[in-house]
Amino acid sequence: MNRIGIIVFAGVCVLFVTSWFLKGSVGDATMTEGFLITLSAFLTLAIMSFLYKDNPYYKFAEHLFVGVSAAFWMTMGFWSTIVGNLIPRISDSLGAWFLQPKGEINYFFLLPIFFGFLLLMRLAPKGGWLSRWPLAFIIGTTAGLNFVRYLRSDFINQISATFVPLVVDWQGFGHFFGNLSLSATGPLVAMVGNFVIFGGVICGLIYFFFSKEHTGWFGTASRIGIWVLMVTFGASFGYTVMGRISLLVGRLTFLLRDWLELMT
């Protein structure tokens, strides 16, 4: 670390300690609460510092996140799945020790435990090939469950939902043309919308159909399909950006309100 680096590091340490004591001594706050808020704020700033360039503070936060998140998922998996779902199904006494509600004993669940230990064989210098057995079980389960699930929800149900009435709230031509408007809640807008759904899905599927050359009417439908897909991608993009911005606003609110108390 060069001299500037040491000065910056010392400055960060001084700021951290100052913030800790200030946050810990205000109102009813304890020193532990002061430390935790200061830690959150500094970690937030450490990640944001990447906008300038890659630096040791960002690397520190990034490496900490990797370690903490790996342990977080392990812990959650252990308490919710192993203790909460598995143990009451294989042992009454162990379930009682963990104060879990009594479940119906089913020795079938010894099989995933066996496969689970085989999976850990991957860490062993020899016998790593045994980890293919649990992998095969996982893949077989996923394929078997998804075959039916996707056929029902992503295929049959989606096709069924596409066949929507193209004429909405029809009370005759006179009524329709007499009340013609582009009101957001009017029947004309709903009709156009349903037509877009029906036609858009057909055209979108035609775009994905590559067994016939995209020329003539088929090519026109395919081109409309691209436009529909572009609207979808645009909408998804807009939503993604909005989601990220709301997270950013959340972090800035934390810094300005909870940490610096500049906002109420």
Partner 1 sequence: MRREIPLAITVFVGFLLIISVFFPPVETLGEDFSLSFDIIAVFAFFLGGGNLIRIHLKKLARRETDWMFSIVTLGGFILMLTAGLLKIGNPGDIATSVNTEGMLFESIYRSVFVPLGATMYALLAFFVASASYRAFRAKNREATILLVAAFIILMGSTPLGAMATSWMPESLSIFEIPNLAVWIMSYANLAGQRAIIIGIGLGVVSMSLRLILGVERSYLGKEG
Instruction: For the CB of residue 56, give the shortest distance to partner 1 in the complex, in Å.
Output: 8
Minimum CB separation of residue 106 from partner 1 in Å reads 7
Nearer to partner 1, 24 or 186 (CB): 186
C-alpha neighbours within 13 Å on the C-beta side of residue 258? 17
Nearer to partner 1, 25 or 183 (CB): 183
For residues 146 and 213, give the distance between their C-alpha atoms in angstroms, rounded to a whole number: 32
What tokens does 145 get? 């469950």
DSSP state of 179: T
Spatial CA neighbour of 224 closest among 245, 204, 198, 250: 204
Tokens 């067994």 — which residue? 211
Please say which residue, 170 or 195, places its beta carbon nearer to partner 1. Answer: 195
Q: Nearest distance from residue 12's CB to partner 1, in Å?
A: 15
In the complex, minimum distance from the CB of residue 258 to partner 1, in angstroms, rounded to a whole number: 10
Residue position matching structure tokens 């991608």: 233
In degrees, rounded to 5, the angle at the alpha carbon of residue 15 between the alpha carbons of residues 11 and 255 is: 125
Nearer to partner 1, 150 or 170 (CB): 150
